[in-house]
Chains A and B, each alone.
Chain A
């Protein structure tokens, strides 16, 4: 079955330190991978995506993510965290061969950046 896992419910990091939010996936075909961020009382906002090509993808607000096919992972990273990065982050996957429009989300990881 197709699935996405975010193994950490919460990640705590000090402002200025690097952050990583983990995501692993399981799909039968080649994946399309996405990261979204949700601020309180708001809808989800797109951060970045991997379709094909370079394994390191750069996105909005200084975030980047690394696609690792052998480890089936797509971890979200940022070199220097800001307090304003505190939010709920979702990894999502679609897969090339499905053509169904189904987007599968992980359960979400709360990022807490402390001053």
Chain B
């Protein structure tokens, strides 16, 4: 079954404590990206990757890092989380640019 798997689904953490949200896909897609969803703002792109070792900033990259060492994994790293990063995060994948995206189930992050 085609899947985009995010972990954890829910996370409460404290300001400044580094965390990683993992994303893994089994569809051999080249394109992966991270979004955050906030009420009234829709989804905003954080980072994206068009292939292994190729990553680039989206619209709201501040405070986030990513890596793409393997095709199937695209972790999102928050080196020093702050309360304004409290949000619902989605990983998405696609065969290539401009094709439909497949989304993970989401990770609800709360930073206190």
A residues near B, CB below 8 A? 4, 6, 32, 34, 36, 41-46, 49, 51, 90, 92, 94, 96, 99-108
Contact = CB atoms under 8 A, between A and B. Distances in A.
Interface string B96-111: 0110111111100000
B90 A99 contact: no
Contacts of B74: none
Given A92-B43, A104-B59, 10 more contacts: A42-B105, A44-B43, A46-B101, A51-B98, A90-B42, A90-B43, A103-B45, A103-B101, A105-B44, A107-B42
A43 B33 contact: no
Q: Which of A43, A102, A104 has the most CB of B within 10 A?
A: A43
Contacts, number: 60
B106 A102 contact: no
B48 A102 contact: yes
B4 A43 contact: yes
Candidate in A4, A92, A105, A106 with the most chain B CB atoms within 10 angstroms: A105
Nearest to B47: A101
Interface residues of B, number: 26
B42 A108 contact: yes
B105 A43 contact: yes
Given A101-B50, A105-B42, A106-B42, A94 B97 contact: yes
Given A34-B100, A43-B106, A105 B90 contact: no
Interface string B2-28: 001000000000000000000000000
B58 A43 contact: no
A49 B99 CA distance: 8
Quick one: which of A41, A45, A92, A101 has the most chain B CB within 10 A? A101
Contacts of A92: 43
B62 interface: no
Contacts of A96: 98
Given A44-B103, A46-B100, A101 B42 contact: no
Contact of A94 (B50, B58, B98): B98
The 5 closest A-B pairs by CB, nearest first: A43-B103, A105-B42, A46-B100, A107-B42, A105-B43
